[in-house]
Structure 1
Amino acid sequence: MSAKNEKIAIVSRSFWPESPAIGEALLLLAESLSKDAKPVVMTQVNKGFTKKLKNAGRGQDVKFVTLPALTDSSSPMVSRISELLLFTGFTFTSLVYHRPDKVYVATNPPVFTPLAVRWYCQLFDKKYVYHLQDIHPEITSIVTGKNNFLTRLLERVDTKTITKASTVITLTEQMQSYITKRTGKQLNIKLLSNPAVQDSNQTDNTSLERIKGFVYCGNAGRLQRIPLLLDSIKRYIQEGGKLPFVFAGGGVYSDAIQELAAQYQNVSYLGVLPAHEASNLLHQYSFGLMPIEDEVTKYAFPSKSSSYIFSGCQVIAVCGKDTSVAEWVLTNNLGYVAEPNIESLVSLFHEIEKNSQSGFNIADELLKELTPQSHADSLKSMIMQG
């Protein structure tokens, strides 16, 4: 079969326009594949998706097979799980109907949808590329604090899905090492960083006049050391610290952030912002806060990292020095790493306040790697070779 006649499916619940980073990259991937093959995108969309595509002049020669989005992050867990299973069934039946020759599948949603892809490919002798943007069910176990028979069963299921893939894509060497250890096999594993939200209105990110202060933009969840961060900010302010802190995003610690903002004038909480407003916010401040639990770095990498760097923020990573996050920041000279304790973090805040603002130069090569277009180009190469 010639490449032009090859049908390639892209399976991911995250897609354009709701997901401005990875979703944009996947749309660019589909558009690029349409020049060499027949792409079919299987995803969930909000109302008006077709009209938005038409108005933006996007998605020409790409077939979209969609399921309406029924829940969001605030929906009850039972509803979220039900939708996950519904999307899994939708994916399998769509694959059987459209019969793609290759399938690209990401971990959104995890475990079950990749399993449906594996079943289809085994049934019809096709190949699939498995993109582990995070590793489940290990992350779920950290969040819930539970590691029982069900999580071990899901781990075995996902391990088999990984080993049957023609190509496995993940984010870091630490995640690659864990995948190799978990499967006990040397697999065809490729590394690819997550893309950043690209704001076409911003050109020179490093030469902008910025507020000397700290921004946190993203999920304020259980894996982000938010209590430690808030206690450190409180101590810093009580010791006379003057620099501002701005938070944007939702999560289980939203109320705690709002309480701190009500207490102190130089702490602000903006809630959940649209993507373009979040991008503008990152362009206003000098330092991006990126706390992360050390254990999580075996299974994931903070998604906000790429957007911080692409926006010209220096990163303040709060994690152990032997993690992939710390290595990334220090190796690329992207900012600072604070040990995950109050003393270390407060000391760094004071140090930054005393130092005069210095320039921050990001390698052009790194910036290019973080664009959705570069991400799409890399994915296309891996899929065509896989």
Structure 2
Amino acid sequence: MTAAGPPADEERLARAALTRVLEPGDTVGGRWLREHGPVEVLHRLRGEEPPPGVSARRWEGLRARAAEARPERDLAVARDVGARFVCPGDTEWPSPLDDLGDGRPVGLWVRGRPCLRIWALRSVAVVGSRACTEYGAHMAATLGAGLAERGWVVVSGGAYGVDGAAHRGALGAGGATVAVLACGVDRPYPRGHAQLFGRIAEQGLVVGELPPGDHPTPSRFIQRNRVIAALTRGTVVVEATYRSGALATARSAQELGRFAMGVPGPATSALSGGVHELLRGSGVLVTDAAEVVELVGDMGELAPERRGPVLPRDLLDPGAARVLAAVPARGRATARDLAVGGGTTEDDAVGRLYELQSMGFVERHGDSWQLTRQANPAVFPGGGES
């Protein structure tokens, strides 16, 4: 669906007008655009004859919107706030959005200096509950900072809770972040995040399908999620209930062939229920930025191997480890008994026992040997290894 070249001024104006006429995710309108082009679609919507398959009620609504559309004014308002209009066919248009088919955006209003297409190539979505817990906010901010430090762009929806924490984490690390809004980029929602959106516009990008001044609605929030999923190489969900927009974003990511990831939480928390349901399906469990990058990054960008601390017993050679394992947890044993238990000769067992004694594992009592307090925490609680 990518255009052959940059759109002409007439096509750009038509697309700008259609962002005020067609709702985000309107696949019928998207089919019209694919079959007839934006100039012809706008012309028909301003005419008398409805396209086939459109109800009279919907036709009147579309005509009313088309009659009120003033793309030159919208483009001027956008310029005043440092925004621009990006169309399919522009060099800045992110081609991953074309995976949405007829549901791809008519165009995008973009506020900020960086190139959206370049940033989308190495981006990850971090989304989650608005009413998140302290744990959720901490994990989102940590993920945002960790991804930014690794050169990844953090994309989210700018909402309260997890979204805001992810944006702040990326900004705090001096990294790149993109807020995808369900309203005009000149009037960000929620208003309580006005200062945050200002920081994002200075350091990153604020993006939306709706023209300047347009307001959010419940359906627009839902449709916004598909843009977040399509724009990025994977979506991480941090806290979500069974019914949440964040889970819808993850499902959209899966449908588009992107990675869907989840950060686990307490099994008793309703805010983690949706995430755990995702993980029980085809979602991938992640706990930090390194694990996210291992999935969505290039070959060789591996997370560090996870393992517990190295214990003194781990450093023993196999022969010494077998003799030590033969020493009873309670009481004492002779070198001859330990040789049998360790599968070796008595002379070798004695040598091994003196080696173990020098390392603090065993102690000698006459002709017998027993474990030290350090080596036997089961008998002496509070001492030795755990």
Q: Which is richer in strand?
A: 1
* Greater relative contact order (CA < 8 Å, ≥ 6 in sequence): 1
* TM, length-normalised to structure 2: 0.29
